[in-house]
Structures are given as structure tokens and as C-alpha cells.
Structure 1
Amino acid sequence: MSPMAEFTRDELAGLLREADGVLDRAHSLSPLLDAARPAPALHGVAPLPDAAGWLIPPGAVHWPERLYAHAELDRLPESRERIRSYLATAAVVGTLRAKAQHAAPGFFGRLFGGPGLAAARQSATDLRSRLEAPDFQALDRDVRGHLSVAGAATQLQTRGVHLQAGSHGTPEHLIAAARGAFEDAVEHQGLIFTQYDATRQAEVLARARALRHDPNSEPALRLGAERLLTALTAERAQILLRQLPVDALRTATSERLRFTGLDTIGVNTVADVLASPPGMLTQVHGIGPQTARRLRAAAETLRREAVATHTTGIGDTPTAAATGLVRVLAHFDRINDLDEIQRARRRRILACSEWVPAAPGLWDVALTGETARWAQFTDDIAWADAHREILEPAGSISVGEQTWDDYLSRPAHYQALLATLLDLEVEGGDDLTADVLDRIRSLRLDQTHLTDLHLRGYQSFGARFALVQEKVVLGDDMGLGKTVQALAAAAHLAAQGQRRTLVVCPASVVTNWERESRRFTDLPVYRAHGGDREEAVAAWADTGGICVITYDGARTTGVPAPDLLVVDEAHMIKNPSAARTIAVRALIDAASHVLLLTGTPLENRVAEFATLVGFVAPQLITNGMSSMSAADFRVRIAPAYLRRNQADVLDELPEKLEQLDWIDLTPADESHYAATVRAGSFMAMRRAAMTTPDAVPAKLERIREIIGDAEEAGRRVLIFTYFLDVLDVLEADLGARVVGRLSGAVPPAVRQSLIDTLGSAPAGSVLLAQITAGGTGLNIQSASVVILVEPQLKPSIEAQAIARAHRMGQTSNVMVHRLIGDDTVDERMLDMLAGKTRLFDAYARPSESARVHDAVDVTEGQIAEAIIAAERERLGYAV
């Protein structure tokens, strides 16, 4: 302890002022030691899409008050340690100062001071010793310097915090401090900071906001469509609930429910339960309040499930919601003049207008590594500024009263509009590399020569895939519009000066290609089939356009090299040594662009599938591909093969209800069938259940029943069989119900007219078809009941046949009946063909699967031999 000294009042006053200065400096220093520095508050900072960064308009960040002061202190050596030492000393100084303030009393204070005066004088003496100590004097000088630097930094911060160097003269280390603080606020380090003049952006986004609020604009129509689709779903749920009996409530709860007596108050369905107040339900004897609550809770569960299980299909019933939705889509059709790239740009801009502030001026931008997204944003703004019409108000449009009839005449067009409006499009191509995807997505499809065609997103993608990759296999599921994708590619090439498109297809679909080409393009169309095919080919070679020729025509006619070669039902050239394959292969090699179309690229063997790919991309084929795993195989061929399945891209497709109709043969049927087995005739065995002599076969009886049900339900029927004599039986028995018969003997033009006749025929009408003639390439959406009289040797043939009706443009649920004779060749075929379906699913569909080898395949001859042997053994005949 220092020797105690006496102090005059002036001396004490000076000492206390000096101590107060220390305490004041300590008070100023204390906030600079905060362990948790406050982060900037973000007000109006807009995140860029896909986590690409942040837009920072002026004034959008509220910076911490001492941001620059902290940054300056961080640069001074040991500044934090010196400040902590100073604060520790200041705490002692504060204590001494409080005791020392009475160390210089007046006369009576000195006279009667006693021990208190002595203590005060000792505190004053100690205080002076601490303040005058050389170490503290040095520490005090350092701290005064720190405070001076911090004060200057704080003064500089009042003129603004900057993230970029400029005329403001902010030092680089303070700019770095601000950037670091922003990174802490958004929890993302390593950002790239730049500046951006938002003046043009502010004007573009102002127009986008105005368009968003325009009642005739796409955003408003989209909201209307979503509302009406929700209402349509509710309507369908209500219809379903009206069809469910009350005992269906058992499936929705584990509680015990009582239904007896509900019919006496008119409650017969789940919908009735929902419509009945609890007090009404309790009027039934045995139903109390608790049971009534349970009944209504179970009914509500079923209602929620019914609403949750919905599609975007508009359907075929003109309810208020359905007709309203169609009118919205007709309106959208009138104002929609953008291609997919333009539409995507405008939608991105409209989305930005919801969350990007409107302030003009110089903005800061903080970017993550996703600089491409920032480039897209600025490019979109520049594009919208250069194309002002894109954001112009749509204006009022009058939609006619016949929109529902128009929808029924072209439902696929309206469903495509709905998918576009609600942004439900799926592209596919998941196995493609990023650079290929970028090239496909950046290609603007020239639709100058397309007419009356609104491409779905996946269809546009398919056409662009073919154009970018040049020679490909398009293996889309049946019914997804491979034809229009090919026509879109042809129209694009024609607009670029590559005018000659050659379509090679089976004779059965020549007319369909000719009609679709004329309907959806304005290009010249030449039918090179029949006696005038040489002249048609010559005219096409001279003028360009689309030439449709059969496989035989391509083999026997001198056809010049096309710009685009389209090969329909391309699985027909899977045999490399066949004459038609050789002819088509020459055209493939000569054409600059090739599109092989097939919904069934793999029917029997993986090697055949690989052969098709090898025609267009031989560099992808290697030895041993047949033994590759399914996943590796698909990745290998992805650059040349694109497939999308119905379930992936057609959410609106009506339900397909498939059932096996097991048929008990009559005694006469059994006797006839046994005779065919005894004779060992596989084809006779397959059709025996329909050709029983002098009796009505059981299968025919079932067909009559199905047609009767279809008539009552307002449906038309499509019946497939492999056998001509079965067609004879059906035609003779069904009489006037039959509007026509499709077989290999019917010319293609007549086939289309029969399909047109079915479209206007009454309910219960029937179109008969030999499955090898009517099962491919035709659109028969007017039928919604399909009967397969007997199983086929290739599952793909059945799938193709069903897809004639269950395809884009179908508005009704499709009922599929497979007639299976019990304990007959039909049942044996079902078992033995299951492996073929698994093979296709593994290699040709984009789904993961276990390794499947060619050894799984069973040839048609092997199937026949095995089944004949099994049936002869079952019926007791010698093998």
C-alpha cells in the first residue's frame, strides 16, 4: 500500500477528473469487445432463383453501428488484449474513485473525520499511484489511439457502407469487412460481389407487375384454371362419393360402425352421410352421438382421399367446372403466341416481379458460384426490355359459346394447353449429359410451318433432341405423339432450308401420316404409295416437303437422300439382313437427320434393341451390351435414345382399367379345344374358344355382355384378335353393331374412314380389328372399351393395341378386357410371357432394374412347343 498523503481540494478534483476520463474511455471501449457482433439486418434484399445469390438494392441492409470500428481494431496489434487490460484497470479505478472522493474535507471534516477520512486518503493515494504508473500511462495512450481510430471509422460509416470500391474512397479492408458481415448474415461464405444498374430492371418489372394484375393475362388465366381444376376435382369426388354405399365407410376407420336403419332416413351413400347433420343421423335407432360422429369422420376421410386422388384430365362430362376450365383454355389459346423458350423467360420475369424490389439505381449483387443463373437473370431483363410486346396487357378477348364442342373435337389440344398454362410439362432425357441438355434447351424450335398444333413440353423437347443429336431413336410410349414430334422437327429443318423429309412407314399408316402432315404443317405432302409413287417421289425431290412411302416402296423405288428421314414402327428393321432393313439403312446413312420411331424398341432380344441404336449411333455399340445391366445399358445409349412413358408425362390421361375375364368353356368348347390339342396345332388351340362349331362359344357370350354394358354406359368398343376366322365369327354374330373391320386386306385409306365412322356411331358400336393391322399407328380415341379376344405372343403387341384407344386425346376411362379361357392355352401363355414384359421394363423404360440377360428371351417357336406339350400332358394325350 502506498504511504497515505493529504490532498488539497484542487488536487483531489484533478485526480477525480483524470479517473473520470479513464472511466469514460472504458465505457466507450466496452461495446468494441462484444463477443457476438450483431449481424446486418436485411430489409429488401432479394434472393436470386436457385440459390444463385442476392440482389441488394440501396438501403436494403441495416449495417451494425460499429462495423467499421470493429474492422479497424482488428487491424491493430493486440488491440483486444490491450482493451481488456484497460477495462480491468478501469474497474479498479472506479472503485478507488468512489472511495477517494471524500479525501479533502473541510475544517470540521478534518476535525471529526476519524477512520473514514484516513480510508479516503488512502484510496486517493492508491488511485494516483495507479494513474501515474508508467505501464498504465502507456496503456492509456494506446487506448486513446484505438478510440481515435474507432471514432474516425464510425464517422466514415455514417457516410455509407460500401461493398465495392469507388469514388467514396472507402479503404479495401473496410469493404472486405462489409462483405464478410453480409456473408455471415446470409450464412454463405465466398460470395462474388459486383454491381448492377437496375434502372432498366425497374422499368421491366413495373410492366411485369401490371401484367400480373391484368385479368386477361396468362397469370390471371393460370389462377382461374387452378381454381376450376380444384372445383372439377371436388365435383368428381362428389360423384364418386354418391356411388359409394355407406358400408364403404368400414375401409376408412377401425372403429365399429352401425349402418342398420340409415336407409329409412334416405342415407344410402357416403355422400348422404356427409350431407346429413349429426342430429339427423341420431334419429336412427341404435345410432347415438358418438356413432354419428364416427360415421361423419369416416366419410370425411373418404372425401379427402377422393379429392387427393385426381388428375388434370378435363374428362367428357360438361360440368360447370369443366366447361369453365375449357373456356379459360380457349382464352389462353388466343393469347398464347410464345414458344417454350420465350414463355419460360416471361414466367421467370413475372416471378421476379413478385419478390424483387422496384427501386432503380446502382445495386450491389452477391453471387454464389452459380454465375450462369445471374447471367440468365440479366439476359431475361435485357430481352424483355428489347421485346416490350411480351409484357403488354393482353386485352379483352371474347370466347365463343361452342368451346365445349371444340374441346371434344380436339381434346389433346386443350389438355396440352392446360399442361402449358399450369407449367406441368415434363421433358425426360434424364440420362443425358449437362452439355447436351443445355444445347437442347437453348435451341428455339422454328414453328413457322406448323399449323393448329400446340406442342406439349415433352414433345418440343423430343423434337429438339432429334435436331441436336441429329440421328436418334424416339421410343416414347404409345399414344404420346411421336408423329407430331417428327413433324415439328421436319418443320424446323424446312424453315432452315433443309426441305426434304421422307417418312418410311407400314402401308397401314400411310394415310394417317398423310393426314397428320397436312393437318399440322403447311409443307407440301406427297403420297408415294401405289402406281404413282415414282412421280410423287420425283415431285418431292424437286419441291421438297414431306414424302410418305412404305417399306416396300423404299426398297423398290429410287429415293434421293432426304434431309430428314423418319422411320415409323422402326422395330420392323431390327433384322439387319432383311431387304427392307438394307434399303432403309442406306437412307439412314445418306440423311443428315434421322428419327427412328417405335413404341416397342425391344420386343424379344436386347441385341435387337442395340441394333436399332447402332443404325443411328454406331459409336455407342460395344461388344457384350446384351449382358450389361439395365441401368448401364440405358446410360450407354442415352445420347441416341429418348423414351418417356405415359405415366410420367400424361397426368391427365384417363384411368385405364384392365381386367382378366376368366372364361369357363362350355362342354362344346372343351370338346373342340381338346381336338385341337390332340392335333398339336398351336394356332388352332389359340382360337378354338371362339370357333366352336354349331354352338355359341363362351367367349362370344362374354363379348355380347361387354358390348351391352358399353351401350348402357354410352361407350364404343374396339375388339382385337389375331385371327381372320375369329373376325368372321364376330362380324356374323354382332351384325349391325359392327361399323367396320380392319385387317391386312383393307386399304389404308379405307381404314381411316372406318375409324372416322366409329367416331360418329351410336353407343354400343363396334370396330373389329386384326391386331397385326389395327394395333399400330392408328388413333381410335372414340372407343373407350377394348376387348382382346386372346393373348398375343408379344406383350408389346397387346400394349400397342390398347394404346390405340388409351392415348393422348382420350377423354373417358378406358376399360380393357382380356378374355382368358380357363385351363387353356390362354392361361399357359400368360405365365410364359411374363419374362418378356420384365425384359422390356428393364432395358427400354427409364426405370432401375436388376441385371437381365438375353437368355431370358423365349422365341415364339419355343413358346408354342412348350404350351402344346403342357396341354397334351394335362389332357392325357401322348407327348
Structure 2
Amino acid sequence: MTGMAEFNRETLTALLSEADGVLDRARRASLLLDAAVPLPGIRATVELPGSGGWLIPPGAVAWPEQLYALAELDRLPGTRERFRSQIAAAAVLASLREKAKGAAPGFFGRLFGGAGLEDSRRAAQELQARLADPAFGALDREVGGHLAAVEEAARHQGRGVQLHPGSHGTPGHLTAAAREAFGRAVGHPALIFTQYDAARQASVLARARALAQDPNSEPALRGRAEHLLSSLTAERAGILLRQLPVDALRTATNERLRFTGLESVGVNTVADVLEAPLGRLTQVHGIGGQTARRLKAAAETLRREAVVTHTTGIGDTPTTAAAGLVRVLAHFDQINNLDEAQRARRRRILDYAGRVPAGGGLWDAALTPDAAGWEQFSDDIAWADAHREILEPADPVRVGEETWADYLARPAHYQALLATLLDLEFEGGDDLAADVLERIRSLRLDRTHLTDLQLRGYQSFGARFTLVQEKVVLGDDMGLGKTVQALAVAAHLAAQGQRRTLVVCPASVITNWVRESRRFTDLPVYRAHGAGREEAVAAWADTGGICAITYDGARTTSLPAPDLVVVDEAHMVKNPAAARTRAVRELIDAASHALLLTGTPLENRVDEFATLVSFVAPDLVSAGMSSMSAADFRVRIAPAYLRRNQTDVLDELPEKLEQLDWIDLTPADEAHYADTVRRGSFMAMRRAAMTTPDAVPAKLERIREIVGEAEEAGRRVIIFTYFLDVLDVLEADLGHRVVGRLSGAVPPATRQSLIDALGSAPGGSVLLAQITAAGTGLNIQSASVVILVEPQVKPSIEAQAIARAHRMGQTSSVMVHRLIGDDTVDERMLEMLAGKAQLFDAYARPSESAAVHDAVDVTEGQLAEMIIAAERERLGYVS
């Protein structure tokens, strides 16, 4: 043992302790190098609208334990390389340390130690030398310092992970690490973090949660409406399945199933297949258990399709679900006092209330660079805090017993309420620039002068589009309410002090404009047509309001500059050289706002639309536009042109769109009609507006317009009248458009061939029909426009005639036009047969006649006697 240094216990203990320190640092460094930071656990954060960022309430994130430690490790330059070097060196020290433990034995150890003792002392000497090496000592001290920094970072995390600097003293690089980790967890690396006081938010959302629980509130009504609509859909699916024969199951499966013999066990329809137990189906010879199950599966497939594809139309049958839904909508009508922007805000706040945890205090927010979602959220909360009434509980209301009758009188109003309540509205305007859309959506429509008008969402959008863009073309499909959109614009402008609205329209619809204006607004309404035209214009110029004038009247009358000019049937001014076009163009130029209405699809007349657009937005029109594709043209003129189709905006896809077309008789019509009244001939009075001698009757002019619109839209037309001589007039005037004439003289075998001819005819083709001969027993689904030339004595006759086109198998919505001569027998008949008039009360009390289809019918003699007397008195033929 000569030359071998000896170690006493104290020296060896100190050496081993020093080695243990190095090995411990190596162990800790190794654990850090091996650690991988998992993503934070996102437990209770709330994503803002439009991927705008996240709200982070206290405790919403489960942070990885070593987040700060590893962040500190990565911050120190070269640390991982130093750790690896120290760990490699420490690996040798571990073996030496184990051998060196025996380098300071007791007496007997020294006496009998032998070679083992020498090995221990040699290991201790080498251990001592390595620990004394200046380079290793420097490395170890550096690692120790780094470990101390890392552990200090870990202690900071023990006091809570911070996303912002502050008095907590967490270094900035550690808060930056937390932010970066959160961004990785949500998949958005470029986030902006802020902190805010959630006290106001907590107060607003607490009120919103209370409102959501209120049984009289809009959210509760929405839930009941959804449930009832689902029940109504199931009812209708059941009706449809009861009408489908069993053979319809072949369309639901590619397999060859056996159907013969099912009628022997009382299974005749798809509904019967669903309801029948398997045992009954297998009683039929040739139908085993597998086939019976396949039949059931095919029937269930049809049932699901019927439920999924059904519309949200309420219909005309007061089933339990339909009547209940109407009562919910009547309730909603009484508490519905918000406009579109307010309702959108409240619904967003109610959505926040369902997703944002309760509680105040300091919250964090991680925002995307544009921060639009955060701005919307903050603005919504501030708005709700400033308008506390928006979240106040709804007052209980009483719904009357006559809701179904009111619905039948105003079905469009209730369908609009349903679309609003269920948030089913479609706006359109997809081609508009984002800033224009934002201006339209943020505009609050002033409804001060609107009365009894529940605007659909798309109608409100159309009005606000006009107000923002000022001069536009509205090309909505037929039946979507272009008139009420124009009236909403007029009412808004009047509330802002721009009082004069001028409606330029064909003479055939001037009465309709006057009536609709008086029905839906409280503005003064003037009819500048016929005698007194100049006086009407002068009064309008003085008081403001709505003045309706014909194209010829606009050309020949001196008119003051309007604030709003509405041009109905605007395709009538498509010729720039025409005098009427020049007159209308001058009015458009003089007005601050202009609205051109036309139902002609853009795709059919690109060149004509270029002319119309040039009237309202000349900067959008350039040479060669007529050769553009319709899609490119639409994008180009989007700032001035808006069109929505029925299939886009009518979520309920109404099978029947009915309207009254008020017809203003020509002077010749009036003279002819007066003569029939003088003679006291009820039948002559009823057909007088179509049989004026030596002149074109006003009703015939309107029929020409409807048929022309139908041709533009690719629709076919069926025209019903009671009178054969009226059929003669129509057949002579419409000429080649008429594919056939159905009357009592046409044999039954020939009638179907005429119907088939209509089915293969082009749009605008017409089938003429005597209502008593073609009003029952025929399927005429190929016609989607129905014209009733005159009212019928029995409303059931009209309903049955409409049902020829409005029935299962019809794929298009049915447009029903009832032509009503203004101040004629037609109007008297409407008054006497209306649902709420005296005759309805006398002959059709709901408790007595709910199941009687002809309950509101009266005898022709009674009706004729009353109407003749009323008309003779009105025209001065009796004292």
C-alpha cells in the first residue's frame, strides 16, 4: 500500500458527499432533459364568436407542472449541452463513488483489507482527482447555477401561472412561455393577451340566465315552438305515409321484395306496414320473417325522409300541434318588440350565458389579431348593461281564443313570426362587400310609421339594403313581398324627415299600391290617377306621404322631386329611348333614394338589367356588360341589385302563396259594369269586368301581366272562371299560349290529354278551365300559377279548384291570384264571405261547423239579392 493515499472517515465522508451532490445535479439535469411539456388542459375557456379568441376565467387552464422549469431551461444559452456533459461525467463518478465507499475502513478492515482496500483507495483517489479538476468543477458549478434558476422558476409556478406581468414578480419570459403554450393548445400561435374585470359581464349574464328560465320569455317560447313544429312534422309525415300505397316501398330499397297479398291482412299503405306487427306480415303466403323485417326497414326509411324533408309551414288544418304552435306565435307576437339588430344581440348574449362560467374578478382573454370576436362580445355586454330592459323578464300575456281564425286571416304574418322566433331567416346579399353588409346589418329600421306588418328577415334586409345603397334594383322572386319592402323604406325615410314617396306603376296595380300603403303604414296616401290627379299630386307635394301614379301619369304630370321613387314592374322602362323611360329617369335622378322593383330573373335579360342598373348606379355599367355571364354580371352589379328566390328565403316552402289583385276598372269597364247593375243582373255584374265591349278590360290586362311574369319564371298557368263567355275572351286574347280549354263540353277522356299537354308545354302556357267543370277530380300539378278571374259564391269551390294544382306531388309553390275589381260586385262578395264578416258569424260558428267544408257558403239567391241592393244604392239607382 506504499504510495497509496489514505482516507480517514471525515475526509472520505466529505468526498462522498461532494460526489453525491454532483450525482444529484446530474439526476435532476437528466430528468429535465427527458421531460416533454404536454399541452395545457383547456377546461373552462370560452371561444369567442368568429374564432376571435378565448375568454380564460381563473382556473380554466390546467397548466403542465414543469412549464416554467423547462421554459427557464430553454432560456439559458447552451444549458442542454452543459447538462449532457455533466451527466456523462457524473456517470463515471457514480461507479467510482460506489467503489470508494470502503477507502476508510476500521482497524480490522485495514488489517485484513488486502486487494479490496487498495481498489477502494484507488477509486477514492480517482474520484477526488476528478472532482478537483478545475474544468469539471466549472461545468458542475454552471449546471448547479442553471438548476437553481430552473428551480426558482418552478417555485414561481407554484404560486400560480401568470399570463401578464405584475406584482407577482414572475419574470416576463415565463409569462411569455405560458402564452405560447396556450396558443399551441388552441392551435393559434399569434394571440394577443389582455386582462379585464368581469364584474359587469357577470351581472349581465346572470340576468340573461334568469331570462332563459322565464316561461314567458322568447327562449322558452322558442323551445315550445320547436317541440310543436316537430310534432306537426310527425303528424304530416303520418298523413303522407297513410296516402302512400305499399308499392311505394320499392323506391326505398334496391332489393326485390314481395308485396302481393298484404291487402288480405289489412296492410294497404306504408303507414300500415309501420304499424303492423311482424306476425301479421308473415301471415301472408311467401313473406317470411326476413322479408317482413325488410318491409319494415323500407317503411322506416320513407318515414325518416318524410320527417327530414318536411317544411316549416303551419298549414291549414288545426291539428293539436298546429293550433298549439299558432298560440305560441300569438304569444310571441305580443312580446316581440325587438328589431333585427337587438334580437341578434340578445340571442348572442343568451348564447354567452349558456357557455360562459359565472363569476367576476379578473379574467384573461387571448385574442386573435383582428380581435373582432372580442370587440363584439365586449360591445354586446356593454349594450346589455346600458339597455337593461332587453333582459327583463317578460310580462305574462293572455292569448285569445280566436288565434286560429286570426292565423287563417293572416297566415304570412304568423309564418314570419315563426321564422323570426326560430331564427330561420335568410338575408341574401352574398355578393356584397363585407363593409356594405356590416352597414346594412347595423342599420336600425325605423318602424314608427309601419302598422300591422311583421317583416320577414329577408324583407327587412331588402329595405335596409335600399336605405344604405340609396338607389337599387330589387329583383326578388314573385310572392316575396317587394311591395312591403318598399313601404318599409318609405316609412323609415318619412321618420327621418324625407316625406315624399312616389310610386310609379302600371294602372292595373295602382289600386293595390293604394290599399297596401294604407294597410301597412299610417302615412298619407294619394291616388294620382284619373279625375283629380292634379289635386292629389298637389296635396302630396304639400303634406308628403305616398303618391301612386301610372307611367303615363308620371310622363304627363308636373311632379315635385320625390325623396323616394319606387318603380314597380321596372322592366317596363327597359327601353332608354321611350318617353316613359326618360320621365322615370328624371325622377330617379331627382330623388335621394330609388327602388326599382321587378320579378324578372336576371339570367333571362342581362342586357335589360344593365339598362335598369344604369338608372340607379351608372358607375357599375360599362361597355360589353351584356355579353358577361349572369354570374359575373351579378357580382359586378351586387352593390345595386338584390334578388332572393322563394327556395332561398321561405324556409317553410309554402305550398300556396295567395294574393288579392285589386283591379282598377277602366272608364269603359265602369260604364259597362254600371249598366249591368242598373239592369240588376247578378251574373252579368260578376263577369262585367271581363266582357267590356269594344275595349280591353282591366282584368284582362292584369291577366296578360301575370302570364308574362309566369313565362319569365318558367311557370305554367291555369285560369279558372265560372263563365263560358269569359273563357271565350281569354282564348281569343291569349292565343297560342292556350294549350287547352276545360269545360263541361269536354269529354272526361279528353280532359287528361289537355292536362298532359300542359305538363309538356313551356313556361307561360295556359290551361283555361270552367271552375264548375275542372274544379274537382283532376290533378294539374304542372301548373304552379292559378288565376281566379272572379270570386265564387261558394268559397269551397275556389278551394277545390286551387287544390287541383295545390296537392301532393306538386314540386313548386303555387301562386294564387284572385282578381278583385275595385268597388264592384267582387269586393262586395269578399266583404260578405270574409271569415270575420256578418255572414261568417251567422252561418259558420266554429263550435257548430268546424268539420263542415262548406260552412261559410250561402245560397246564391241570398248573396245576389244583398249585393245587387248594395251596388244599386252605391251607384244611385235606388233612393
TM-score normalised to the size of structure 1? 0.77
Aligned to 1:466: 466
Q: CA deviation at 1:721?
A: 9.5
Does the Cα contact within 8 Å between 2:788 and 2:818 map onto a contact in 1? no
State how 1:816-827 maps to structure 2 within 5 Å: none
Aligned to 1:132: 132
Does the Cα contact within 8 Å between 2:514 and 2:548 map onto a contact in 1? yes
| SS of equivalent to 1:498 | coil
How has the CA–CA distance of structure 1 residues 311 and 449 changed in structure 2, closer, same or farther, with 3 Å as cutoff? same
Q: CA deviation at 1:444?
A: 0.9
Q: CA deviation at 1:110?
A: 3.4
1:146 aligns with 2:195: no
Aligned to 1:445: 445
| SS of equivalent to 2:562 | coil
Aligned to 2:643: 643
Q: CA deviation at 1:786?
A: 5.7
Relative to structure 2, which stretch is displaced further, 2-11 or 316-325? Answer: 2-11
| Match 1:702 to one of 738, 751, 755 | 751
Q: CA deviation at 1:343?
A: 0.3
1:764 aligns with 2:802: no
Aligned to 1:582: 582
**2: CA distance between counterparts of 1:112 and 1:503?**
125
Relative to structure 2, which stretch is displaced further, 194-203 or 92-101? Answer: 92-101
| SS of equivalent to 2:796 | coil
1:52 aligns with 2:101: no
**2: CA distance between counterparts of 1:699 and 1:626?**
49
Does the Cα contact within 8 Å between 1:3 and 1:125 map onto a contact in 2? no
Does the Cα contact within 8 Å between 1:474 and 1:596 map onto a contact in 2? yes
Does the Cα contact within 8 Å between 1:474 and 1:642 map onto a contact in 2? yes
Which residue identity lines up with residue 765 of structure 1 in the other structure? E
How has the CA–CA distance of structure 1 residues 309 and 582 changed in structure 2, closer, same or farther, with 3 Å as cutoff? same
Which residue identity lines up with residue 106 of structure 1 in the other structure? G
**1: CA distance between counterparts of 2:228 and 2:739?**
52
Does the Cα contact within 8 Å between 1:601 and 1:609 map onto a contact in 2? no
State how 1:10-25 maps to structure 2 within 5 Å: 10-25=10-25
How has the CA–CA distance of structure 1 residues 687 and 265 changed in structure 2, closer, same or farther, with 3 Å as cutoff? closer
State how 1:63-74 maps to structure 2 within 5 Å: 63-74=63-74
| SS of equivalent to 1:138 | helix
**2: CA distance between counterparts of 1:753 and 1:243?**
29
**2: CA distance between counterparts of 1:434 and 1:735?**
51
Aligned to 1:353: 353
Which residue identity lines up with residue 550 of structure 1 in the other structure? T
Aligned to 1:485: 485
State how 1:790-809 maps to structure 2 within 5 Å: 802=815, 804=817
Aligned to 1:95: 95
Does the Cα contact within 8 Å between 2:246 and 2:259 map onto a contact in 1? yes
Instruction: Please list the CA deviations of residues 315-368 of structure 1 after superposition, one character each: whole Å capped at 9, or x if unmatched.
Output: 111112111111111111111100000000001110011111222122211111
Aligned to 1:498: 498
Aligned to 1:512: 512
Aligned to 2:36: 36
State how 1:104-253 maps to structure 2 within 5 Å: 104-253=104-253
Which residue identity lines up with residue 109 of structure 1 in the other structure? G
| SS of equivalent to 2:152 | helix
Does the Cα contact within 8 Å between 2:717 and 2:764 map onto a contact in 1? no
Instruction: Please list the CA deviations of residues 199-244 of structure 1 after superposition, one character each: whole Å capped at 9, or x if unmatched.
Output: 1001001111111111221111111111111111111111111111
How has the CA–CA distance of structure 1 residues 800 and 576 changed in structure 2, closer, same or farther, with 3 Å as cutoff? farther
Does the Cα contact within 8 Å between 1:689 and 1:698 map onto a contact in 2? no
Q: CA deviation at 1:390?
A: 0.5
Which residue identity lines up with residue 490 of structure 2 in the other structure? A
Q: CA deviation at 1:649?
A: 0.7
Which residue identity lines up with residue 38 of structure 2 in the other structure? P
Aligned to 2:6: 6
1:454 aligns with 2:454: yes
Which residue identity lines up with residue 197 of structure 1 in the other structure? D
Aligned to 1:433: 433
Aligned to 1:83: 83
| SS of equivalent to 2:195 | strand
Aligned to 1:311: 311
| SS of equivalent to 1:584 | helix
**1: CA distance between counterparts of 2:458 and 2:647?**
13
Q: CA deviation at 1:175?
A: 2.4
**2: CA distance between counterparts of 1:766 and 1:522?**
33
State how 1:596-611 maps to structure 2 within 5 Å: 596-600=596-600, 605-611=605-611
| SS of equivalent to 2:795 | coil
How has the CA–CA distance of structure 1 residues 504 and 766 changed in structure 2, closer, same or farther, with 3 Å as cutoff? farther
Instruction: Please list the CA deviations of residues 131-187 of structure 1 after superposition, one character each: whole Å capped at 9, or x if unmatched.
Output: 121111111211221122223323333333322233334333222222212212222
Instruction: Please list the CA deviations of residues 625-653 of structure 1 after superposition, one character each: whole Å capped at 9, or x if unmatched.
Output: 11112222111111111000111111212
Q: Provide the alpha-carbon RMSD of the alignment.
A: 3.4
**2: CA distance between counterparts of 1:96 and 1:634?**
85
1:327 aligns with 2:331: no
**1: CA distance between counterparts of 2:717 and 2:65?**
80
**2: CA distance between counterparts of 1:119 and 1:389?**
91
Which residue identity lines up with residue 151 of structure 1 in the other structure? E
| SS of equivalent to 2:16 | helix
Relative to structure 2, which stretch is displaced further, 260-269 or 589-598? Answer: 260-269
How has the CA–CA distance of structure 1 residues 457 and 611 changed in structure 2, closer, same or farther, with 3 Å as cutoff? same
How has the CA–CA distance of structure 1 residues 337 and 800 changed in structure 2, closer, same or farther, with 3 Å as cutoff? closer
How has the CA–CA distance of structure 1 residues 655 and 47 changed in structure 2, closer, same or farther, with 3 Å as cutoff? same
How has the CA–CA distance of structure 1 residues 353 and 101 changed in structure 2, closer, same or farther, with 3 Å as cutoff? same
Which residue identity lines up with residue 78 of structure 2 in the other structure? E
Q: CA deviation at 1:30?
A: 3.1
Aligned to 1:390: 390
Aligned to 1:376: 376
Q: CA deviation at 1:486?
A: 0.4
How has the CA–CA distance of structure 1 residues 703 and 297 changed in structure 2, closer, same or farther, with 3 Å as cutoff? closer
Does the Cα contact within 8 Å between 1:47 and 1:55 map onto a contact in 2? yes
How has the CA–CA distance of structure 1 residues 605 and 295 changed in structure 2, closer, same or farther, with 3 Å as cutoff? closer
Q: CA deviation at 1:449?
A: 1.0
Instruction: Please list the CA deviations of residues 480-505 of structure 1 after superposition, one character each: whole Å capped at 9, or x if unmatched.
Output: 01011001111110110001111111
Instruction: Please list the CA deviations of residues 379-414 of structure 1 after superposition, one character each: whole Å capped at 9, or x if unmatched.
Output: 110000001110111132221222111111111111
Q: CA deviation at 1:451?
A: 1.1
Which residue identity lines up with residue 534 of structure 2 in the other structure? E
Instruction: Please list the CA deviations of residues 745-778 of structure 1 after superposition, one character each: whole Å capped at 9, or x if unmatched.
Output: xxxxxxx9987x45x84222399xxxxxxxxxxx
| SS of equivalent to 1:478 | coil
Which residue identity lines up with residue 336 of structure 1 in the other structure? N
* Structure 2 unaligned residues grouped into runs of 5+: 658-713, 719-727, 756-762, 778-786, 807-811, 820-879
How has the CA–CA distance of structure 1 residues 783 and 586 changed in structure 2, closer, same or farther, with 3 Å as cutoff? farther
How has the CA–CA distance of structure 1 residues 81 and 602 changed in structure 2, closer, same or farther, with 3 Å as cutoff? closer
| SS of equivalent to 1:196 | strand
| SS of equivalent to 1:283 | coil
Instruction: Please list the CA deviations of residues 723-754 of structure 1 after superposition, one character each: whole Å capped at 9, or x if unmatched.
Output: 9xx98x959989999xxxxxxxxxxxxxx998
TM-score normalised to the size of structure 2? 0.77
| SS of equivalent to 1:400 | coil
Relative to structure 2, which stretch is displaced further, 605-614 or 424-433? Answer: 605-614
How has the CA–CA distance of structure 1 residues 686 and 339 changed in structure 2, closer, same or farther, with 3 Å as cutoff? closer
Does the Cα contact within 8 Å between 1:478 and 1:800 map onto a contact in 2? no
How has the CA–CA distance of structure 1 residues 146 and 733 changed in structure 2, closer, same or farther, with 3 Å as cutoff? closer
Does the Cα contact within 8 Å between 2:45 and 2:56 map onto a contact in 1? yes
**2: CA distance between counterparts of 1:185 and 1:687?**
69
| SS of equivalent to 1:764 | helix
Aligned to 2:840: none
Which residue identity lines up with residue 762 of structure 1 in the other structure? P
| Aligned residues between the structures | 730
Which residue identity lines up with residue 338 of structure 2 in the other structure? L
1:412 aligns with 2:445: no
| SS of equivalent to 2:797 | coil
| SS of equivalent to 2:162 | coil
Q: CA deviation at 1:70?
A: 2.9
How has the CA–CA distance of structure 1 residues 195 and 721 changed in structure 2, closer, same or farther, with 3 Å as cutoff? closer
How has the CA–CA distance of structure 1 residues 687 and 329 changed in structure 2, closer, same or farther, with 3 Å as cutoff? closer
